Amino acid sequence: MKHLEKATRELLHVTLDQMRTTSKDRHLADARRIFVFIAIRKIVTTQKDLAKHLNRSPSWVTHTFDSAASLMTVNSNFRALLNQVEDYYLTLKKHR
């Protein structure tokens, strides 16, 4: 998960500690959605493990993933940002 954390930190300018907060700031909320969406789709991890990593509940992870999936269909800016983070994550993972 370290490559995803790095991609999120560098492209979205959000640290893991910031993602662990309960702030409803749009920038942080979108970063959380992107992180959860990519983690579930690209990293073999359980929702329980991801929830523990982010100090959240598994139901929060499910809700956040569903929210990201919904935004992907209606918000082209969110979709582009998610794709950019995902591409960078895959590049980092490839060149470890």
Give the residue-averaged pLDDT of 1-7.
92
Q: Give the closest residue to 39 by CA, choosing from 18, 19, 17, 22.
A: 19
Distance CA(63)–CA(46), nearest Å, equals 14
14-68 pLDDT, tens digit per residue, is 999 999 999 999 999 999 999 999 999 998 678 899 999 999 999 999 999 999 9
Residue with tokens 């359980």: 46
pTM: 0.93
Number of domains in the chain: 1
In this prediction, residue 13 has a pLDDT band, given cuts at 50, 70 and 90, of very high
Q: Which two tokens stand for residue 59?
A: 């139901």
Residue 86 near residue 78 (C-beta atoms within 8 A): no
Distance CA(80)–CA(85), nearest Å, equals 9
Owning domain of residue 84: 2-94
pLDDT of amino acid 50: 93
CATH code where residue 70 lies: 1.10.1750.10
